[in-house]
Structure 1
Amino acid sequence: MRKLLVLATAAMLVAGGARAEFPDRNIENIYPWGPGATMSASQIIADAMGQELGVNISVVSTPGAAGTKAFMTAIEKPADGYTIIDGYVAPLVLQPLLGKVNWTHEDFKPLWSATSNSFAIAVRKDDERFADFPALIAYAKANPGKLRYSPGVTEALPHMVIAKVMQSSEALAQVIPYPEIDNAVKDMRGGVLDFIVINPGVYATNKDEVRILAVLSELEGASKTYGGAQRVADFGIELGMKGLAPMGWNWWLVHKDTSDDIVAKLRDAMGKAVARDDVKQKLLDMGYVPLGYGPDQYNEIVAPVATDLKSGIDAIAWEKQQLRSKN
């Protein structure tokens, strides 16, 4: 019996020592999309955070099911701090709102916010019909359903945002779905589409071919992403969504059962990483705006997003009804 007690005590001491040394191996960030610019942005933060912790943090692409596959993969892993969830708005807020998953943003422990990528309204570079965004809105109001536009995939976040702007302005345009927004850019150049809803990555590769009429964000840094283009609010037009609701963004998370001492270490490391000037500049150079919200701001920032996204869903329903009435 005495020998068993000694062994048990030794095991507890070993376990306690291992835990105190967190992290003693590499960490994974489970990223919900395929490789691309946003994954590169996450890797910039992961590299800086790993430097603070003294380990490598790899960003692991896990696409599928509108981002929810990554969440489910991460949730099934041990709550030991070695798995970080790259919490993008679609799987974190939108999919729960649509009833597609059984979690909410409250079911995770937040680290720090990462970046945002705002959307923008773009027309052809040589399109002289619309001097600015108010001119496009005025035309869409006077000629409901005549303009053709694409947000890429319909009923996703970019579609919700532009539908809300159009509803708020009592304007109407015909939505055309595209599986890939890059193909929509080509068709806009060919005159098939009048305007598109673009993201920073697509803008970066097509900036010589498009002209930005308005940035769909309240954030000042979002204007820099699109070469200093004006935001919707700068024209006195109601965006209809506040805060982080009208844009793509991510907030790094961990399993809700992760111990507080491990969470504290991760928060400290990520906070230092995202505060670094070199990290901020790299992200800005890629077109992503560092957010800088801390874990104590998580609920106040994220909770209202669901309400505004619900208004975006309603705006799409309004758009459909208005278009049906014109046919």
Structure 2
Amino acid sequence: MHKRRLLQGAAAAALALLAPAWAAAQAFPPKPTVTIVVGFAAGGAADAAARVIGKKLGENLGITVVIDNKPGAGGNIAHQFVAKGPSDGATLLFGSVGPLTVAPHLMKLGYDPVKDLAPITMGVNFPNVLVVHAGLKIRTLAEFIDYAKKNPGKLDYASTGPGSASHLAGEMLNHMAKIETVHIPYKGGAPAMQDLLAGRVASYYSTYSTAQPHIDSGALVPLASTGPKRLAALPAVPTIAESGFPGYSATNWYAFLASSKVPAAILDRWNLELVKVLKSPEVAAELNKHGMPPQPGTREDLAREIERETATWGKVIRERKIVVQ
């Protein structure tokens, strides 16, 4: 009898330990309205991708998905908001390479990207394309570099903020080509593109989705893409690596994360649901149309990518002696 009571007590204790995770797994979605926080202004690539994914997610789960744009500080405002915000699992972050892997090397943050944010899945991973205003009469990357060498400090480039993928893409080319183009930060792709089209800035390491209509119209000239292989949508445009700078690679990516205080069972379920969305043919087709191929994966895959990119960009920042004023 005594042994039976001990076994019953042990079973009850085990159930008590499992209860929070079990309850969390059952309470999904956590709320009928889920928010996806985006660190850049509406109209840019991050916003566009989040809306495509969010729409399908809402349809699959029968919930309302709200896109909350919180631009500024290269995306860090949005990242801090989620890192320090609600932990009920109803707030997701569409995080980006800059705040997660670059900003920790450049500035004091009000959060720790590794400790305060939990990875869910990679969303999209794609190269940027270096575009220039057609009025510059520059048509190739070689001409761009030649102009920069002959006019040091006079050729500038836009980015989506200090420490963003577009910022570091320019710094990497500056380093490898031994040129000095001037960095001009913006709060997102849309305002950067507005100033480029107006001729207030000369060039921009843009996402293809933001630049595409202006490339088609002839207002912008694509010089090179920043990834390891050519953009499928621009097969005639070479990569920077194949244009005389082997080893150059600066991809842009957006991934889903949440507060690290969210229960693991909820994070695992979000991975399941988001991977399902990213693998759906209609979502993949829409994202690919904008030059942003989906890259769903495990939570561990994303954690490893963040660790690898943090090391890569830390090296570039040290070599370039980059500081944020």
Change (3 A) 1:270 1:101: same
Counterpart contact for 2:134–2:220, Cα < 8 Å: yes
The aligned counterpart of 1:258 is 262
Q: Does 1:114 align with 2:118?
A: no
Counterpart contact for 1:74–1:83, Cα < 8 Å: yes
- CA-CA distance at 1:318 after TM superposition: 7.6
Counterpart-to-counterpart distance in 2, 1:48 and 1:316:
42
Q: Which moved more, 1:103-112 or 1:149-158?
A: 149-158
Match for residue 177 of structure 2 among 148, 152, 169? 169
Counterpart contact for 1:155–1:316, Cα < 8 Å: no
Change (3 A) 1:236 1:259: same
SS of alignment partner, residue 272 of structure 1? helix
Residue type of the alignment partner of 1:100:
L
Counterpart contact for 1:32–1:61, Cα < 8 Å: yes
| % same residue | 16
SS of alignment partner, residue 292 of structure 1? coil
Q: Does 1:184 align with 2:196?
A: yes
Residue type of the alignment partner of 1:22:
F
Q: Does 1:34 align with 2:41?
A: yes
Give unpaired runs (5+ residues) of structure 1.
Answer: 1-12, 320-327
- CA-CA distance at 1:239 after TM superposition: 4.9
Counterpart contact for 2:102–2:313, Cα < 8 Å: yes
Show the 5 A alignment for 1:54-65.
54-65=62-73
Computed over aligned residues only, the root mean square deviation of the Cα atoms, in angstroms, reads: 3.3
The aligned counterpart of 2:10 is none
SS of alignment partner, residue 113 of structure 1? strand
Counterpart-to-counterpart distance in 2, 1:49 and 1:311:
37
SS of alignment partner, residue 288 of structure 1? coil
Show the 5 A alignment for 1:306-321.
306-314=310-318, 316-317=320-321
Residue type of the alignment partner of 2:99:
P
Q: Which moved more, 1:26-35 or 1:73-82?
A: 73-82
1:252-308 Cα offsets, whole Å, 9 max, x none, are 012222222222221111111101111011112223232233322122211121222
Change (3 A) 1:169 1:239: farther
Counterpart-to-counterpart distance in 2, 1:49 and 1:229:
34
Counterpart-to-counterpart distance in 2, 1:93 and 1:73:
17
SS of alignment partner, residue 130 of structure 2? strand
Counterpart contact for 2:170–2:205, Cα < 8 Å: yes
Counterpart contact for 2:35–2:92, Cα < 8 Å: yes
Counterpart-to-counterpart distance in 2, 1:160 and 1:18:
40
Counterpart contact for 1:178–1:184, Cα < 8 Å: no
Q: Does 1:230 align with 2:234?
A: no
Show the 5 A alignment for 1:192-203.
193=202, 195-203=203-211
- CA-CA distance at 1:108 after TM superposition: 2.6
Match for residue 248 of structure 1 among 245, 252, 263? 252
How does the TM-score come out when normalised to structure 2?
0.76
Show the 5 A alignment for 1:266-285.
266-285=270-289
SS of alignment partner, residue 150 of structure 1? strand
The aligned counterpart of 1:303 is 307
Change (3 A) 1:255 1:100: closer
Counterpart contact for 2:24–2:265, Cα < 8 Å: no
Counterpart-to-counterpart distance in 2, 1:297 and 1:81:
20
Residue type of the alignment partner of 1:218:
P
Count of residues in correspondence between the two structures: 295
1:79-137 Cα offsets, whole Å, 9 max, x none, are 2221212212233233322322330235432211112353222234476655x323443
1:30-85 Cα offsets, whole Å, 9 max, x none, are 22222223213102112222333332322222334432332333234442221212
Q: Does 1:92 align with 2:92?
A: no
Counterpart-to-counterpart distance in 2, 1:16 and 1:293:
24
Q: Does 1:212 align with 2:222?
A: yes
- CA-CA distance at 1:206 after TM superposition: 1.7
Counterpart-to-counterpart distance in 1, 2:72 and 2:223:
33
Counterpart-to-counterpart distance in 2, 1:161 and 1:46:
28
The aligned counterpart of 1:8 is none
